[in-house]
Amino acid sequence: MDADACEIARLPEELLSAALARTSTRDACRAAGASPAFRAAADSDAVWACFLPRALPPLADGELPDALPRKKDLFLRLSDRPVLLPDKRVSMWLDRETGAKCYMLSARGLTIIWGDTPQYWSWIPLTDSRFSEAAQLRDVCWFEIRGKIQSKMLSEDTIYAAYIVFKLDEHSIGLDYPTQEATVSVGETSLACKVCFHGYDDDGDDGGVPENYRPIMFPPQQRIRRRNGRPVPHGENVGQPQKRADGWMELELGEFFNEGGEDGEVSFSLMEVKGGHWKSGLIVQGIEIRRKKSG
């Protein structure tokens, strides 16, 4: 049957738009291919205004074209790649499925203990990121990185997770043991977990993480192999990194629920300060805060 002959296609565009606005971005895009009547409704500003967040943060000059003709174009641009905020230390984009606001705090936007001391940390230029530089760990025994974001900048009633985005150089040491402690705090609530920058695969090569790697939780006697070949025992529930599509690695620090109407601060930390072990070879791009996908 011709789609245009269907009863639903005979509804006024305003009613079709109102119905589509209660679905999802994926459904709206699929509906646009169903028929000319659906396309007009599915591409309308009335639909895409519902998918866009109610309040977008100010952006740095030149991040968007002077005029985007349709709200759909604005949504697709913001969900395609990050845009910088005015201080250029934070980037923002939209989750394509839900329109939730996501952010990355650059290394310069974090608090890195000893980060301005060249003996311990250095700053190197970046060519594969929206940010101009990354923090490179030279040598420390007191490892501590902190970041924070105002909860009102995030989307309401959304589950988020925070990830440190990093690389390891070929001479990295001390980042597999002892494990680091990651903490995510919202108001008076604080959740901590143990994480490790080095992944693990069955062939014993911890020099990299395969494309299809997913974070795993180790049983109590599972072992991770150090670069020098010595086995290092870890306890259970140690978070592991995974490879990103952009070539960087990410390590989840924890998740939190941003409840509607709250006006407070979400803070993140990653540290290892008890062992007295020296560490080097970590390159930090920043901490990413994005919607936590189920499953």
Number of Cβ atoms within 10 Å of the Cβ of 292 = 16
Query: What's the confidence (pLDDT) of residue 188?
Result: 85
Give me the pLDDT at residue 165, please.
98
Please indicate, yes or no, whether residues 149 and 276 belong to a single structural domain of this protein: yes
Largest CA distance in the chain: 74
Q: Highest mean pLDDT range out of 37-46, 70-79, 82-91?
A: 82-91
Predicted local distance difference test score (pLDDT) of residue 219: 33
> Does a structural domain hold residue 76?
no
pLDDT for residue 157: 92
Tokens at 227, concatenated? 């670069």
Pair (113, 221) in one structural domain: yes
Query: How many beta carbons lie within 10 A of that of residue 6, not counting itself?
Result: 14
CATH number, residue 215: 2.60.120.260
Task: Summarize pLDDT for 174-213 with one digit per residue, the tens.
Answer: 998 889 999 999 988 899 999 999 875 433 444 343 333 2
* 65 domain residue, yes or no: no
- Indicate whether 58 pLDDT > 80: yes
Residues 106 and 38 in one domain: no
In whole angstroms, what is the distance from residue 144 CA to residue 78 CA?
Answer: 32
Q: Quick check: 16 pLDDT over 90?
A: no
On whether both 111 and 223 belong to a single domain, the answer is yes
Verify that 138 and 266 share a domain, yes or no. yes
Confidence of residue 6 (pLDDT cuts 50, 70, 90): low
Same domain (yes/no): 8, 137:
no
The helix/strand/coil state of 7 is: coil
The Cα 46–Cα 17 span in angstroms is: 6
- Mean pLDDT across 70-78: 92
Q: Are residues 287 and 197 in the same domain?
A: yes
Question: pLDDT at residue 275 above 80?
Answer: no
pLDDT at 247: 93
Q: Give me the phi and psi of 271, to 5 degrees please.
A: -155, 160
Please say if the pLDDT value at position 143 is more than 70.
yes
87 in any annotated domain: no
pLDDT above 70 covers a percentage of the chain that reads 77
Please report whether residue 204 resides in a domain: yes
Total domain count, the chain: 2
Q: Which domain holds residue 10?
A: 3-51
Q: Is residue 73 part of a domain?
A: no
Residue 54's pLDDT band, with cuts at 50, 70 and 90, is confident
Q: DSSP letters along 146-175, please?
A: EEEEEGGGSPTTEEEEEEEEEEEEEEEESS
Coil/strand/helix, residue 82: coil
Which of 36, 51, 66 is the last residue before a domain boundary? 51
134 with 23, same domain: the answer is no
Based on the fold, state whether residues 45 and 180 are members of the same structural domain. no
Report the C-alpha gap between 168 and 282 in whole angstroms.
Answer: 5
Locate 149 and state its tokens.
């974001």
Whether the predicted model's global pTM rises above the 0.85 cut: no
Q: What is the pLDDT of residues 83-114, one digit of tens each?
A: 999 999 999 999 999 999 999 999 999 999 99
Which pLDDT value is given to residue 92? 98
pLDDT at 263: 77
Domain assignment of residue 92, yes or no: no
Q: What is the pLDDT of residue 30?
A: 75
Report the 10 Å Cβ neighbour count for 173.
15
Q: How far is CA 101 from the centre of its chain?
A: 10
Give the CA angle between residues 61, 64, 66 to the nearest 5°. 85
Tell whether 18 and 125 lie within a shared domain. no
Are residues 187 and 266 located together in one domain of the fold?
A: yes
Q: Are residues 124 and 244 in the same domain?
A: yes
Residue 69 lies in a domain: no
Residue 60 lies in a domain: no
Backbone torsions φ then ψ of 93, nearest 5 degrees: -155, 170
Higher confidence at residue 234 or residue 31? 31
